[in-house]
Structure 1
Amino acid sequence: MWRPVDLGFGISLIDLYDLQTAQRTGAYVFHEEEVTIIETSASPSIPHLLKGLEELSIDLKDVKNIIVTHIHLDHAGGAGVLLKHCPNARVFVHPKGMRHLADPSRLIEGAKAVYGEKFDALFDPIVPIPEDRLVIKEDGETLQIGEDRTLTFLHTPGHANHHFSIYDEKSNGIFTGDTAGVFYPQLLSYDVELYLPSTSPNQFDPEAMQASIKRFMSLHPDRIYFGHFGMSTHVQTVWDQLHYWLPIFVQIGRDIVDKQKDKSFTEKTEAVFQLLFDNVQTFLRKRQVPDNADVYKVLQLDLQVCAMGLVDYIEKQKSN
C-alpha cells in the first residue's frame, strides 16, 4: 500500500490508484487546519482515499471542504461517494460545473462515449450531489481554512471551460488540475522530468491554455501540485516543457486533419496518437529511458485521449 506523502506546509498527497495504476491521480489533503481535500478521482478510487485519510488520523466528520478543480470524472467522479462518508463537508466547484455534479447524466453519457464498455469498471457509481452541499467559487474568490491559510480560486480554462485552479499562499503553490499538464514521476528514477499538456476533448483550447499558464507564471509559484501526479518544485522546467510541447501537439493535429480530410474521426485520431507517441518516445529515448519502461502504459492512454481532443478542436475550428 502506497502511504500518504508529507509535502510540507501541512499538505499530504494520497495516491488514488486511478485506473488501478499507481502515481496516476492524487488527492491533496490540508490536515493542519480545517480538513480540506483537493480532487477525489473516480468512485473506484474512494477506498484508497478513505484509507489515506485513516492513515493521516483524520476523522471523516472533520472533513469540511472537498474541492474539485474540474468535473472530469478522473477528478470529480467520486465526489458524491466521498460526500456520503463526510457528513459535514461541502463540495467546491467551478460555476460551469455545478449543475453536472448535481445531475451527472451528461458526464456519464460523455464518458461512456469515450470509454465504452470499460466505463463501469473505471467510473461507476457516479452519485449526484445535493445542491445545498455544492458551493461555487468565482474567479478571484477565496476560502479561509484555519486562522492563517487562504486559498484563492483562479478560473483557468484551456483544458476545460469548467476548470479552476487553487493558489495557496502559505506554500506559494498552485493546484493546477490539468491546465498545467501532466507530470510523470515514474520517470524520475531515470533522472528524467516530463511534463505534457493535457488536450483531452471536448473543450481543449490552446490559446486559453497558454493564457492560463501565463497567469500561473505571473504568480511566481515555488510549487506546482498536479492532478496527475504529484508536486514539482522545478517550476521553470514545467513552463519550459509546456511551451515546447503544446505547439508540437497542435501542429501534429493540424497536419493530420489537413492531410486526411476524407478519413474518419477515429482514423485521424489514431494517426495523431501515433505521431504524438513517436515524438514523446524519441524525447525519452534521447534521455536513455528504455522502451519497456512502465510509464508507457500511462503515456499511451494519455496520448490517445490527447489525440481525440486535438482532432475535435481542429475540426470544430474548421467548421466555424
Structure 2
Amino acid sequence: MRKPIDLGYGISLIDVFDLGKENRTGTYVIHEEDITIIETSASPSIPYLLKGLEALEVDTAEVKYIIVTHIHLDHAGGAGLLLERCPNAKVIVHPKGKRHLVNPSRLIQGARAVYGQQFDEFFNPILPIPEDRLVVKEDGDTLQIGKNRTLTFLNTPGHANHHFSIYDPYSSGIFTGDTVGVYYPQLLSKGFEFYLPSTSPNQFNPQAMLEAADRIENLNIDRIYFGHYGMSENPDLAFKQLRYWLPIFVETGESVTKEQADASFKEKTASISKGLFAKISEYLAEKNVSPSPDVDEIIQLDLNVCAMGIADYLEKKK
C-alpha cells in the first residue's frame, strides 16, 4: 500500500494497483463539503481504495459522490462494490453508461472476450448498481461539491461513446479518463514525459478523439488528471503526443489489415500490437530512453488492447 499523493487544490491520488501493478490506475479524491471520488477501477482495486481513504482519514459514510468517466471495467467495475461501503453516496455516470451499471451483463461479456481466462482475476466481482443510486449528467451539466467548487461534465467520445470528462475550474484541471490517452509516469525517472492514445474496443473513433482533445484544449487548462495514471502539468505536450501517435496507430492498423487481408482478427491484432511496439521502442531509443522490463510490460499490455480497438474500428469502417 502506497500513501495517497497530495496533488494540491484539495485533490488526492490513490494508487489502486489495477492488474496488480503500481502507477497503473488511480482514484482521485476531492476533499470538499461533499467528498467526491473520481474513478474506482475494478473490484480487486477496492481494498486499496478503502485503505487510501483510511489513510486520508475519510470515512466512507462521508462520501457523497462517486464519478466514473466511463463504464469500462478498469474505471467503473468496482463502483458497485465500493457503493456497498458508501451508504450515502450516489454514482454519477454518462447517459449512455447508466443501463450498463444497472445491468452489467454486456460489460462482463465484452471484457471476457478481451481478457479470456484472466477475467475473474482482473475484474470479479462486478455488482449491479441500484437505479435510484445513479445520477446521469448530460453534456454541460454541473455539480456543486463545495461553496466555491463546481464541476462541469463534458461529453468527450473517441475512446468510448459513454465517456465524459470532468472540468474542475478550481484547479484549472480536467479528469479525462482515457479520452486523451495514457500517461506513463514510469518514464519520468528516465527524464522523459510520455503519452499514448488509448484505442481499446469497441467504440474507438479517431476523429471523435481528436475533436474531444480540441474541446478540452480550448479550456486552457493547466493540468490533466489521467485515469492511467496521475496528474500532468504539461497538457500541451499531452495533446501534441496524442496527435502525433494517433495517426501512427491507425496507419499501422491499415497497413496490417491490407497486408494480411485473409488473416484472422486475432492474427491481425497481434501484428498491429507488434508493429506499434516496434515503432514506440524505436521512438524511445531515438530519445535516448533506455528500455526497462516494467515499462515495456505495461506498454505491451496496453498495445494488446489498443490493437483490438484499431482492428475492430477498421473492420467496421469497411
Common fold by TM > 0.5: yes
Write the deviation string for residues 138-193 of structure 1: whole angstroms up to 9, x where unpaired: 00000000111000000000000000000001001010000010000000000011
| Structure 2 residue 134 is the aligned partner of structure 1 residue 165 | no
User: What TM-score comes out, normalization by structure 1 length?
Assistant: 0.98
Matched with 1:115 is 115
For the residues of structure 1 that align with 2:293 and 2:265, how far apart are their CA atoms?
A: 30
Write the deviation string for residues 295-319 of structure 1: whole angstroms up to 9, x where unpaired: 111101100101010000001101x
Matched with 1:11 is 11
Partner letter of residue 127 of structure 2? V
Write the deviation string for residues 265-294 of structure 1: whole angstroms up to 9, x where unpaired: 011111100110001111111233333341
Matched with 1:23 is 23
For the residues of structure 2 that align with 1:317 and 1:194, how far apart are their CA atoms?
A: 29
3-state SS of the aligned residue for 1:255?
helix
Q: CA deviation at 1:201?
A: 0.4
Matched with 1:32 is 32
Partner letter of residue 312 of structure 2? D
Partner letter of residue 287 of structure 2? R
Matched with 1:247 is 247
3-state SS of the aligned residue for 1:145?
strand
Partner letter of residue 108 of structure 2? I
Matched with 1:55 is 55
Matched with 2:275 is 275
| Structure 2 residue 90 is the aligned partner of structure 1 residue 96 | no
**Within 5 Å, which residues of 2 pair with 1:1-320?**
1-318=1-318
Partner letter of residue 8 of structure 2? G
For the residues of structure 2 that align with 1:315 and 1:279, how far apart are their CA atoms?
A: 23
User: What TM-score comes out, normalization by structure 2 length?
Assistant: 0.99
Q: CA deviation at 1:200?
A: 0.4
For the residues of structure 2 that align with 1:292 and 1:187, how far apart are their CA atoms?
A: 9
| Matched pairs, number | 318
Q: CA deviation at 1:234?
A: 0.7
Mapped contact 2:32–2:145 kept (Cα < 8 A): no
Q: Percent identity?
A: 64
3-state SS of the aligned residue for 2:115?
helix
- Superposition RMSD in Å: 0.7
Mapped contact 2:223–2:232 kept (Cα < 8 A): yes
Mapped contact 2:71–2:100 kept (Cα < 8 A): yes
Q: Which runs of 5+ in 2 are unaligned?
A: none
Partner letter of residue 107 of structure 1? L
Q: Which runs of 5+ in 1 are unaligned?
A: none
Write the deviation string for residues 48-80 of structure 1: whole angstroms up to 9, x where unpaired: 000000000001110000000000000000000
Mapped contact 2:91–2:134 kept (Cα < 8 A): yes
For the residues of structure 1 that align with 2:244 and 2:157, how far apart are their CA atoms?
A: 19
For the residues of structure 2 that align with 1:42 and 1:206, how far apart are their CA atoms?
A: 26
